[in-house]
Amino acid sequence: MINLLQMLQQQRSPFYEELSIYEDGRKMLERSLREKGGMEYYLISKKFIKQWKYYVDYDEEMDEYEKDTRQKPDKINSDLINHEKLFKYFPEGHIYNSSIRYLENEWDYEIVLKEVYEYFKANYQSIEPQIRVGFYNDNLKRKQIFPNLARFTLIYWSPIDNKLNTVIAQVDYNSEIKAWTNLLRDTFQELFKPKKINNVRIWCPRHKTFKQDLLIQQIIKTKQVDGDILDDNMMIFQMQSQRNNCLILDLEMNDWQFTKFKKTVEYDNELLLEIALQGCGQLVCEFPQCKLNNGFLELGFGVEDIKGICQVLIENEEVKWELMCSKSKILDKNLIPFQQRDNKIDIVQYLLKISNSLELFGFSFVENFNKNQGIYQIDQENPEINSPLIQLTDSLLKQQKENTLQIIKNLFSKKVVDIEPLTNLYQLRALYLILQFRGCLNVILEEKSQIILTIIRRLNQQHLNQLSKWLTKLDKSELIQLQQIIKYLIEDQIKIQQNAPIRPLLEIDDISRIKGLFELYSLIYKSNLRNRRIKASDFIINSIQHFYKVDADREEFTQFQFFNQKILRNYSFTFCQYAWSMPIEFKSKLLYIECKVKQYDQRRRTYGLLPQYVSLTIERDNIIESAIKQLQQTQVSLKNPLKVQFVNEQGVDEGGPKREFFRLIMEKLVTPDYGMFIPKNNDTVFWFNPQSFEMPIYYSLIGKLLGLSLYNSVLLDVRFPTVLFKKLQREKIKEEDLKELDMETYTGFQFLREQTDPKIVESLCLTFNATYKVWGENYYEDLKPNGFQINVTIENREEYISLYIDWYLNKLVQKQFDLLKDGFKTVVDGDGIKLFSGEELQQLIIGLPTFDMRDLELSTKYDGYDINSEYIKYFWNCIHSLNVEMQKRFLFFCTGSDRIPVGGLKSMKFVIQKHGEDTEQLPSAHTCFNVLLLPQYKNKETLKEKLKISLENAEGFGLM
């Protein structure tokens, strides 16, 4: 921005003053956060800031017509306004007298100083009243502002009409009680003139779940408050109250209006007995002693018995008063769960009726409902969906769009407006049911007010896990259908944003929509991890890499950085939160950018004194020791590009020597003769040798080499199993990971699990003891204390299998793996590497397992040849006719490596250059530049013969 300001100053831009005021204000704001005390901070719509920056920022490369057509920003607080007055009694002009909406998160706005706000207001449109204000409080010991609102219903006794009144009040979630009471004192002093209000205090009712009508009845009846006065030093968030809970306001004039209610056993017993005998009238209640839950009457207890039980519970202080329910309006008794309705009643009309109760809707569409006795208890493992009934209803709802949307509004709109989460499994099941109507899911999710997406965005982690668990019960076709619908909606939103007139995700609603869709998509993905029915690759959304029209990778990386560093003033959205949906090629670009940024930061910290390369001078006959010595002693960050020079050999490293270095050193380190790794699974992969006597530094060296190869885009010819890379990425190891490493042990576990006869299991003579063999010698270890004395039975076989897998893949090789991991982390760190799964990391380091030479043909460029010539066509026919081994020889011959990069051969830059005519020379290559030097022989037979000779004499190729 400094360079931009200087440029605008030189151009005498009319926007220079605006940018200066904004930047100076931002610096003052950041400085003020380090100071004690408070300051007024105004909130400005992030949409306005984005538009304003685009409007005033002159880009040197921007065409004149683009500068002329830029739109002036919209109203300053257009995204923060709401028509609901939360507290109409604040003094006129007071900073809290505003009507903005509840801010769902800190990404909706930017915080500026008053001077900046006033300047914007003078030059651009503004909506009154003013934007909200927050105060920095040193007691939080955090350099951050919390302008989000909490909302309460205040009950107070008016000294004017001598009646109890209520009002909805808003307050910063992180304000002190003292600051709030001071504000309330000023507010009510203004309201109740000429009455003198000396002070204000706030009571929190003991029965926190009581509604205002019941609390008012209590106060009128007793003239006292059954609760406690809030400590002035307490913070609002410490109250742990749901929004719109009731508080009691106490005004001090000549004296305080209320005194503390002196609890008596008789009073508490009266309250408890009433709810135990009559209940609250709700379908679901969390209070254990409510009639709905206690079961006293079903057990045959009389009224006197129940009264005695209540007395004992109160005396023993076993009543959770904070959960105590209160009577509510009883639902129409004629309304019953959907599956029990009279079949003559219209299905959609009945759905409209029961949609007024989330819990009742959550009872509906239950399979085998009539078999359940008493209150339907939700199964956390199985949602028990009546699929035929869902399908029938879905077919009807598809024809009635308006009624479908009305059902959604009836169910969830109050939750959205009141910013309330789903509170129980019955409500969560109602959400799960909505997602089953896949025929009209597009209509439900595209609904303008985003009701369902808002509910999903606000789910807590426990409910997200529960939904994911229920989704595992969908069969493959059902899950695929759901996944494809959400994927299509995401792709459609991406397309819409790509065509945005200014830039993507300018509107808060657009950000909210795409985030909600991704949260739902994430639920499906995580459910699939629990019970795989869809390939992981099917979740990838390729259009993500084209989301931004220009420099998509840099734009995405910038947003990723803002997100990780919590620079929310510049943050909108990053796909990296859902890295499993991103193409690996795009993620690898982000990793490359992060590496370059770290290299730049390193040079800046050292004032550019250190070289920009990690330079190694390698002795071929002493390759390991020379590499270790130099990698240990170098002061250059290993994130810098690598240059390799072999002793007594000419040439500058343009890629060839580097690739050869990695091939030679890994070949030596991983060979069984070196003893660090041993072949497993019929010599298809190499795994750590638990009895290795090599120095620890050698394992650390391998880790560094893996990291260096990743940052230098060199694919390694090393047969490590996927599980090693999963461990590097801290993924949970599963039984399936044993397959690639030890198929014999894996199938043995399957055989053990399949046995139903206890005698067969006993005949295997297994104990909680494990054995392994290294170079013909057996070693034994207990899986648990005295494991060799504990026999494996049908009852404990799952424990045995679990302990064995953990021992085999983790504990047995812990020392060796930790050394390798530490070496890897010295090179590769940061947030970029976290975007990749273990399997993807394996692809980045050792390449893809399969390839198609036609991809290479399509991406090839020609120098001296015509792509359509018969000679070139015959050349490719020769290549395609080769077997896999010879095709790998061809790749190695041309590029110095037979590994297949991420993105496949189509992503390689490959050139075929004409190298003489009618010559006896063999084909040759510049492996550093991926250039094949191909002579034009006099006939096709000579071409085929010369090519065959070259490939048969190529050395060093590796096979998977």
Query: Distance between CA atoms of 6 and 10, rounded to whole angstroms?
Result: 6
The 3-state DSSP class for residue 375 equals coil
Q: One of 290, 595, 894, 928 is an active-site residue; which one?
A: 928
Amino acid at 407: I
The string of DSSP letters for 797-843 reads HHHHHHHHHHHHHTGGGHHHHHHHHHHHHHH--SSGGGGS-HHHHHH
Query: Distance between CA atoms of 125 and 603, rounded to whole angstroms?
Result: 45
DSSP-derived letter for residue 90 is S
Within 8 A by CB and 6+ apart from 528, the residues are: 479, 483, 534, 536, 539
Query: Distance between CA atoms of 182 and 381, rounded to whole angstroms?
Result: 50
Query: Distance between CA atoms of 308 and 50, rounded to whole angstroms?
Result: 66
> 3-state SS of 656-686?
HHHHHHHHHHHHHHHCHHHCCEEEECCCCEE
CB atoms within 10 A of CB 440: 22
Token look-up 């020392």 returns: 815
Q: Give ∠ CA 865-868-874 in degrees, rounded to 5.
A: 85
Q: Tell me the β-bridge partners of 176.
A: 235
CB 125 within 8 A of CB 75: yes
Q: For this structure, is 928 an active site residue?
A: yes
b/e string for 908-920 if b means 16 or more Cβ within 10 A? bebbbbebeeeee
Q: Tell me the β-bridge partners of 133.
A: 42
**799: its two tokens:** 């424990």
CB 721 within 8 A of CB 687: yes
The 3-state DSSP class for residue 950 equals helix
Q: Tell me the β-bridge partners of 366.
A: 385
Phi, psi dihedral angles at 192 (to 5 degrees): -105, 25
The 3-state DSSP class for residue 134 equals strand
Q: At what angle do helices 696-711 and 656-670 cross, to 10 degrees?
A: 150
Q: Give ∠ CA 713-717-721 in degrees, rounded to 5.
A: 105
DSSP-derived letter for residue 99 is -
For 491-498, the CB contacts below 8 A with 24+ separation are 491/541, 491/543, 493/517, 494/541, 494/543, 494/544, 494/547, 495/543, 497/547, 498/543, 498/546, 498/547, 498/549
Q: Is 928 left (phi over 0), alpha (psi -120 to 50) or beta?
A: alpha
Among 913, 915, 931, 925, CA closest to 953: 925
Classify strands 41-45 and 109-113 as parallel, antiparallel or unpaired.
antiparallel
Amino acid at 342: D
Query: Distance between CA atoms of 563 and 854, rounded to whole angstroms?
Result: 40
Query: Distance between CA atoms of 713 and 702, rounded to whole angstroms?
Result: 16
DSSP-derived letter for residue 921 is P
Active site residues: 928
